[in-house]
Amino acid sequence: MTAIELPAAEPGSPLARLLAKVQPNPETGCWIWTGAFSGETPKFAPRYGVSRSAMRVAYELLVGPTPTEHHLRRSCGDLRCVNPDHATTRPQGRQPRPKTPKPRAHCGKKLTPEKVAAIRADGRLHREIAIEYGISKPTVSQVKSGRIWPSLPAAAE
């Protein structure tokens, strides 16, 4: 493991004051906060006295603005960590569920050329074939006689 290099910061800058309270962990890459905590949350109190999440401050100083409606989550799971590389943003509140396409109940395309060929080669009762392929018995007859999918070769005699 190589030592973690913290980013260069101008002396006296907010970043320098933030990094002064960071203890990098070379094994995990985490920046362990050694400053103040509010509960389990690292808190950074800049000179204006308003304490803010040290993770959020580090993120804003090194990555960019974080929308206030976004939570910062730590991908490493270490609550003491303020490494912006370990932060992921996600909107607060419920995540919209990914849409799953609904299966179409009656798409009218139960048959594929492969199935048609298999049905034509199937020597079982039409009733059994109909159940297996989820089609009607007359459809099996029509497939076998070539009235459906006539472009495909009929069953071998």
Return residues touching Zn ion (CB under 5 A).
30, 76, 78, 81, 83, 86
Q: Report residue 30 as tokens.
A: 């985490």
**What is the rounded distance in angstroms from the CA atom of residue 33 to the CA atom of residue 56?**
12
Tell me how far, at minimum, the Cβ of 23 lies from Zn ion, in Å.
Answer: 12
Q: Smaller CB distance to Zn ion: residue 30 or 62? A: 30
Q: Smaller CB distance to Zn ion: residue 15 or 111? A: 15
Question: By C-alpha distance, which of 50, 78, 68 is closest to 59?
Answer: 68
By DSSP bridging, strand 70-74 and strand 41-44 are unpaired
Residues paired with residue 41 on neighbouring β-strands, in sequence order:
38
Tell me how far, at minimum, the Cβ of 50 lies from Zn ion, in Å.
Answer: 24
Tell me how far, at minimum, the Cβ of 24 lies from Zn ion, in Å.
Answer: 10
SS3 18: helix
Q: Smaller CB distance to Zn ion: residue 9 or 76? A: 76
